[in-house]
A and B are shown apart, each in its own frame.
Chain A
Amino acid sequence: MNVGVVVFPGSNCDRDMFHVLSDVFHMTPQYCWHDKPLPENLDAVVLPGGFSYGDRLRAGVIAAHSPIIQDVKKIAEKGIPILGVCNGFQILVESGLLPGVLLKNDSLNFMCEWTNLTVENNKTPFTNKFELNEKIPIPIANGDGRYFVDDETLKQLERKNQIVFKYDQVVNGSSNQIAGVCNEDGNVVGMMPHPERAAEPEINPHDNKPSSLIFESLLQKIGANN
């Protein structure tokens, strides 16, 4: 199960993601440096969190112009599962792979805290093992995590079932408390919270099983594909 972990200058959750993919869920991750072409044989791609290019200009915008994103776009069209977490989500949004934009949190501050998500769509490659409306205790850590779309796009997202996760409470001012969305085909998913920080009991003070399901969903999906 080959999973590409895309690394940009300034990515900083790449090693965490790698650890969880390989040591906890026994996949075969490989780092993909931003200025090299994406390897051919990937079953899935993860864009981890961090501060690509120091979040300069706007979080994710400089990374979105990397050559590797062109490759990501190509395999996205083929239906290969792609997950962007935190800065990875911001990059997906800035590159047009996902709708919407991530703005500065309402608090104007970086926020690092645990929160609860509700699963709104259990048809994606990262949520197929969830029940609808299942809860996930999970941490967020971002300064620009306020997901914003205009009303019309919001209606569309709802109609096309593109809202994947919502916060249980008002956390940062996101439109409709959206925490994660997918593309129309459902194979590209972006989320602000960090599942890789919640998948092991040792570091999860609440319950690590729900976050684990995100990775187990992927295993199930790839297993079914192969």
Chain B
Amino acid sequence: MSLEPHELEELKLKIGRDPTSTELQIVAAEWSEHCSYKSSKKHLKILPMDGPLVINEKGYDSGVLDVGDGYVVTAHIESHNHPSAVEPYGGAATGVGGVIRDILSAGTRPIALLDGLRFGDIEKDQHAKWLFKNAVKGVADYGNCLGIPTIGGEVEFDECYANYAMVDVAAIGFGKKENLIKNHAKKGDLVVLMGGATGRDGIGGSQFASDSLESENRSAVQIPDPFIEKLIIEAILEARNEKLIHAMKDLGGGGLSCAVSETADALDIGIEMDVDNVHTRESDMHSDEIMVSESQERMLIITDSVKLVKFQDICNKFRIECSVIGHVTFDSKMHVKKDGKTIANISTDIVANATLLDLPSKKPKYLENIEEKKSFPVLSDYSEIMLKLLASPNIASKIWVYGQYDHEVGIRTVVKPGYDASVLRLDNGKFLSIKIDGNPKQCYINPREGAIGCFEEACRNVVCTGAKPIGMLDHLQFGNPKDPEIFWTFLESLKGLTDFAKDFEIPCIGGKVSLYNETPKGSIKPTPVIGVIGLIDKKPLRIQKINSGDCLIMIGNTKDELGGSEYSEYIHKFIGGKCPAVDFSESKKNMNAVLELVENELIKSAHDCSKGGLAVAVSELCMTNLVGCTVPLDDVPGDNLASDEILFSESHSRYLVTFEKKNIQNLEELLKKHNVSFKTIGEFGGESIQFTTDSKPVIDLSVDKAQKTWLNSLKEMVMHA
């Protein structure tokens, strides 16, 4: 772990002397990209972070939303890409653990998880399969053991992640507003480290996350211990109830170095600590190792000497080790001692605030002609292509994944995984709806429109449950920011997200930037992952079974936007074409219309059109309800499109709503009032999924066969070579 030469010069200048070796380690950890956001911070400021429901407190690692009646929801998203790429099981598991502690830090109980997983081509690549299988197991073992339901997520495969793994985890917390930790400290308060012993595992992890992945031989792996994390959660919440915690922070990237310096900086205090007081796993650890170790399952607590006694009792009850490692001072310095001798003494604002960079950016060459349209051969029958898509890893049901996650524990999960967004009930009678979405194929073709599309898709999913989006989490994952072309894609995505957030008045309540995601073959595609949280004041849409005779309305226009679609890329192996773009005003109108449909209880279900387009979305309805449907393509709103464009284009802002025929008039009136583009495009019945033009079928698939293929395909791919 080291600073770059000019950073070292800068450090010397700032402190007016040569740094000690410990100071060097501390600063290198804290000035790493992972901890300091030095490349991105300047730009992230454009995101709107305020809103009527947002509660901002210093030192929070998670966003806080007021959901009424004295309750708050917290949320955060993180990734664990580099560690998962070399040790998928432990990397994914500790990724879950880390984001949960961010939720806990605010004083709220973690109540749900979502995971976004991305790997190389599992159909061809054994290594990708190994990574995928073990990452899923890592998420499952950790979340299940804690009793925090994993209620949703996404899975995607793309060759750009060959030999790499993207593991994003979002966590949601819930609690009483009065129980939020206020993060304050006064002189003489004690600094306590609780949790697992500090060991050599994960040394240099945050630096590692900021470097590109050159060799497997980095010993930054961390061993997950969900059992101790569970005990930490219960102990902290008990201590919170007893009001024993003045301030709190979890130990993540950069270990003690970052936790201590950031806490001190955020609270405008100094902290003096002694490394000898840290409980370690091995007796011969060097003080520098102790300062930067990223051993998991640890929390930093600030309390006072009276409360400490009770706090220790709680730790004893749960058999968690805790040690008083230092105390609060008022000189704004991070003062580290060993054997009573100073080994580091440095202003926290120097440590915690790396000089921010303003990296150059340049529109990538590859984008010049990428949106040029390519027409694919027109077929008279797309049934086979359809079946192939349903079996494809990105479209096949993800039940093999979420079936391994306990998604019911906590008994809040009203809408379970397998639909669009999942819905949780809250203690105040309201409901929370959450989904995360990414789309690197579209973000590659158009970083701006692609990112907006992810945002809108997550909103769409939440809207389908009857929820109004109230907050957004962004996770911006890109390659090496020092490459101006890559940095340009980062900025474009960020600007797109900002525009959408402002226009729709959805504040960004948290996020994370992960850079240097490079594989042996080069940079990953731009991979922003967006989480949207929606609130339902009254009742969520209770999804009802679709029966023969029920009808289907399509809201929203289908456009000539096959770029980045599964059809283009999976079927035709073509990367390019026109990327779907969100029309803000159409998007807003459609959202409001769907929300009102749900509120008026006019519909049986609402489903968004996304991956695989209309053809896949209709099939999903048929397959989950085991009923056929016939859709004449000529009826689908949109102009002058070829059959494959209508079937497979992934245009945004589109919804499929199903309803009993008797409601048709009320429905149409309501939709007309909202002035949205819509049409009744089909009626359910029979045993096959049919699309027709001029009354001739272009797709005719048995529901039964389609369903079996769709449900089993992913599992088959994983289990069988």
Contacts and interface: CB of A to CB of B under 8 A. Distances in A.
B406 A10 contact: no
B411 A19 contact: yes
B319 A9 contact: yes
B404 A112 contact: yes
A203 B422 CA distance: 12
B140 A110 contact: yes
A51 B227 contact: yes
A174 B39 CA distance: 55
B409 A16 contact: yes
Interface in B399-418: 402-414, 416
A33 B416 CA distance: 31
Nearest to B109: A15
Given A112-B406, A141-B409, A203 B227 contact: no
Nearest to A143: B144
Contact of A13 (B137, B147, B231): B147
B146 interface: yes
B230 A12 contact: yes
B416 A205 contact: yes
A109 B714 CA distance: 15
Interface string A55-85: 1100000000000000000000000000000
Contacts of A145: none
B404 A54 contact: no
A223 to B, nearest CB: 25
B319 A203 contact: no
B246 to A, nearest CB: 26
A54 B145 CA distance: 6
A4 interface: no
B318 interface: yes
Nearest to A52: B227
B144 A51 contact: yes
B406 A110 contact: yes
A16 B406 CA distance: 14
Contacts of B144: 51, 110, 141, 143
B227 A53 contact: yes
B411 A197 contact: yes
A107 B459 CA distance: 35
B145 A10 contact: yes
B510 interface: no
Contact of B404 (A9, A16, A111, A139): A111
A109 B412 CA distance: 23
Interface residues of B, number: 31
A7 to B, nearest CB: 9
B408 A197 contact: yes
A145 to B, nearest CB: 12
Interface in B347-406: 402-406
A110 B412 CA distance: 20
B407 A202 contact: no
A211 B319 CA distance: 36
A168 interface: no
Contacts of B402: 112
Nearest to A12: B147
A51 B412 contact: no
B171 to A, nearest CB: 16
Interface string B45-89: 000000000000000000000000000000000000000000000
A203 B230 contact: no
A13 B388 CA distance: 41
Interface string B129-151: 00000000100110011110000
Interface in A120-141: 139, 141
A109 B409 CA distance: 17
A202 B414 contact: yes
Contacts of B91: none
A196 B230 contact: no
Contacts of B408: 112, 139, 141, 194, 197, 203
B403 A112 contact: yes
A222 B318 CA distance: 33
A109 B718 CA distance: 13
A207 B577 CA distance: 48
A112 to B, nearest CB: 5
Given A197-B411, A202-B414, A141 B318 contact: no
Given A110-B144, A205-B416, A9 B409 contact: no
A2 to B, nearest CB: 22
Contact of B406 (A15, A33, A141, A203): A141
Contacts of B589: none
Contacts of A49: 409
A113 B403 contact: yes
B403 A111 contact: yes
B563 to A, nearest CB: 37
A13 B148 CA distance: 10
Contacts of B481: none
Interface in A10-66: 10, 12-13, 15-16, 19-20, 33, 49-51, 53-56
B24 to A, nearest CB: 38
Contacts of A51: 144-145, 147, 226-227, 230
B184 interface: no
A50 B410 CA distance: 11
Contacts of B307: none
B425 A202 contact: yes
A203 B412 CA distance: 7
Interface in B407-464: 407-414, 416, 425
Contacts of B231: 9-10
A111 B141 CA distance: 11
Contacts of A139: 408
Given A51-B227, A112-B404, A205-B416, A12 B319 contact: no
Contact of A55 (B145, B225, B413, B425): B145
A203 B413 CA distance: 6
Interface in B223-275: 225-227, 230-231
Contacts of B411: 16, 19-20, 196-197, 200, 203
A202 B427 CA distance: 13
A203 B404 contact: no
Contacts of A12: 145-147, 230, 409
Nearest to B405: A112
A148 B477 CA distance: 47
B140 A9 contact: no
A200 to B, nearest CB: 7
Contacts of A110: 140-141, 144, 404-406
A153 B408 CA distance: 33
Contacts of A141: 144, 406, 408-409
Nearest to B231: A9
Contacts of A196: 411
Interface in B159-177: none
Contacts of A194: 408
A203 B146 contact: no
Contacts of B141: 110
Contacts of A113: 403
A10 B409 contact: no
Contacts of B543: 205
A156 to B, nearest CB: 33
B173 to A, nearest CB: 15
A30 B304 CA distance: 32
B405 A16 contact: no
A218 B144 CA distance: 29
Interface of B: 137, 140-141, 144-147, 225-227, 230-231, 317-319, 402-414, 416, 425, 543
12 contacts: A51-B144, A54-B145, A109-B140, A109-B404, A110-B404, A111-B403, A113-B403, A141-B408, A194-B408, A197-B411, A202-B414, A203-B414
Q: Which 3 A-B pairs have the closest CB atoms?
A: A12-B147, A54-B227, A51-B145
Interface of A: 9-10, 12-13, 15-16, 19-20, 33, 49-51, 53-56, 109-113, 139, 141, 143, 194, 196-197, 200, 202-203, 205
Given A12-B145, A51-B227, A203-B414, 9 more contacts: A13-B409, A16-B410, A20-B411, A49-B409, A51-B145, A110-B406, A111-B404, A141-B144, A202-B425
